Amino acid sequence: MNKLVALGLVASLLFACSSSSPDAAPGACPVAQTSTQTVTFHLKAGASGSFLVTQGSYCEPFSIAQGGTKLGLSLPFNCFCECAGLQRSAVVAGTTGDTTLTWDATSMTYCDEVKDCQGIGGSPPGRTSTYRHAIPIRAKSGHYVATFRLESAPPTQCTAGPDPKTFLCSTMGNPPLIPPSGGEVCPASKTVDVAFDLPASGNADVDVQLP
């Protein structure tokens, strides 16, 4: 068995054993809902010059929770039948200056679809794999908490661009993961929480003071 097929089998087993959202039984996905709101976080840099994660690869730069339950914001690394290769959850961009980040006021419901693997990567007849879908559902109005990811200083794998406060980061050296769970948040040593209210309609602006 070649390495890619073996990795596909591992990921297939992991996905097949994972549970779907209670809103959607395996194989039965709800109808996607278009976002009608935007929450804009206005992040103000602090005197310490902390590095704020603004973008990740296979991870989110911030999380949103309601009542202590974290919302799924994206589809994690999906691997079925045959994996394209090892994937890594890593920070790819950040800043030490003022910036804005947005949330489209949706959360993901996950549901699974069983796919036939015959003919893919030398798979034998009868082998199946579970593929995960992420369906956006509008978030309900109410009280939420956003958690942002920080480091005391820009990580060593990050390099400043033309703007000396904006950094791009290499993903080399990060441990591979096959696959991460839904709602994976980018790695960081510090966090900042901010509470806010999502209105029943209309957009929201939230000011965030960083340390």
Could you give the count of Cα atoms lying within 13 Å of 67 in the half-sphere of its Cβ? 4
Closest to 45 (Cα-Cα) out of 33, 54, 36:
54
What's the chain's Rg over C-alpha atoms? 19
Phi, psi of 171 (to 5 degrees): -95, 0
User: One digit per residue, pLDDT tens: the chain, 211 residues?
Assistant: 333 333 333 333 333 333 333 334 445 788 999 999 999 999 999 999 999 999 998 889 999 999 999 998 987 666 777 766 656 678 899 999 999 999 999 999 888 888 788 777 677 788 888 777 889 999 999 999 999 999 999 999 999 988 999 999 987 655 555 444 445 788 899 999 999 999 999 999 999 999 9
Handedness of CA 7, 10, 16, 20 (dihedral sign): negative
What is the residue extent of each domain of the chain? Answer: 3-209
CA distances from 72 to 48, 57, 63, 122, 136 (A): 31, 15, 8, 34, 9
